[in-house]
Amino acid sequence: MENNYKLSPSDLTFLWDECRRCFYLKVVRKFNRPSMVFPKIFSTIDLLMKDFFYELPADEISPELPPGRVAYASKWVYSESISFPNRSSSCYIRGIFDTVLEFDDGSFAVVDFKTTKPKPEHISFYSRQLNAYSYSLENPNPGKFSLSPITKMGLLCVEPVSMNRTENGNLAYEGDVTWLECPKDDNSFLDFLDTVLAVLDSPDPPMANPNCGFCQYRENARQTGF
Ligand code: SF4
């Protein structure tokens, strides 16, 4: 049977880099690693940022951006089926983007909010996730949400640096804000997906990451019989 793998933009970024075996087991065998505790405060900060920026002018994100406004937040993307000439299997992308800007010239930008100190390596690392959203918006499954053309992508990084007392007596974090533009490159992204399908089409999962505590725990349990 030909496979049409469902891929999530965040798994293509985090899980793929962390461990190909876990990625394979999740996508092909539907066997998920136990979810890790993700502090709720980061989801709350993420929501606050989306609410704060919604409908603001694009230059509130960065003065480097063309005129426009923050137009969409937290919407599902669902790409068309993506196939390659040398493979019988295919894939599609499903996920939820953070924010999309609409510029006055009718083009769009995909933006992800990060509570982090910006680093140059974030650009290549997160470009995969942003390219996945961008590709899905420009090449949607029929009837699914679409936007085109996507001309820009980037990260809005907020790094908490100080705390102040507000007029009503609350405390407020202050953050340094940095815009990191990421390159949009559909061809490199499709080459990457071809590599991903090569792994997923293997009859057996790849080797596990030797530094992962989960698999070490499983191995210890096997050896000790606990
Ligand atoms: S090493 Fe094991 S548990 Fe850890 S990420 Fe890989 S397959 Fe998953």
Residue 112 sits in a domain whose CATH number is 3.90.320
71 lines ligand 1 (CB under 6 A): no
Distance in Å, CA 11 to ligand 1 centroid: 13
Q: What is the mean pLDDT of residues 99-124?
A: 96
Residue of minimum CA distance from atom 4 in ligand 1: 212
Q: Which atom of ligand 1 is nearest to the CA of 18?
A: 5
Residue of minimum CA distance from atom 2 in ligand 1: 215
Indicate the number of domains in the chain. Answer: 1
214 lines ligand 1 (CB under 6 A): yes
Tell me the pLDDT tens digit for each residue of 69-104.
999 999 999 999 999 998 999 999 999 999 999 999
Percent of the chain residues topping a pLDDT of 70: 100
Answer whether residue 107 shows pLDDT above 60: yes
Distance in Å, CA 106 to ligand 1 centroid: 44
Give me the pLDDT at residue 100, please: 98
Tell me the pLDDT tens digit for each residue of 21-31.
999 999 999 99
Structure tokens at 147: 């936007």
Answer whether residue 39 shows pLDDT above 80: no
69 lines ligand 1 (CB under 6 A): no
Distance in Å, CA 208 to ligand 1 centroid: 5
Residue 220: pLDDT band (50, 70, 90) is very high
Residue 33: pLDDT band (50, 70, 90) is confident
Give me the pLDDT at residue 168, please: 94
209 lines ligand 1 (CB under 6 A): yes
Give me the pLDDT at residue 213, please: 85
Answer whether residue 37 shows pLDDT above 80: no
Q: Whole-model pTM?
A: 0.93
199 lines ligand 1 (CB under 6 A): no
Give me the pLDDT at residue 207, please: 93
123 lines ligand 1 (CB under 6 A): no
Give me the pLDDT at residue 212, please: 86
Give me the pLDDT at residue 1, please: 56
Q: If you average pLDDT over every residue of the chain, what do you get?
A: 94
Query: What range defines the domain where residue 173 resides?
Result: 4-224
Give me the pLDDT at residue 41, please: 85
Tell me the pLDDT tens digit for each residue of 138-154.
999 999 999 999 999 99
Residue 187: pLDDT band (50, 70, 90) is very high
Q: Among 31, 35, 212, which residue has the most ligand 1 atoms within 8 Å of its CB, making it the best to mutate?
A: 212
Q: What is the mean pLDDT of residues 106-112?
A: 98
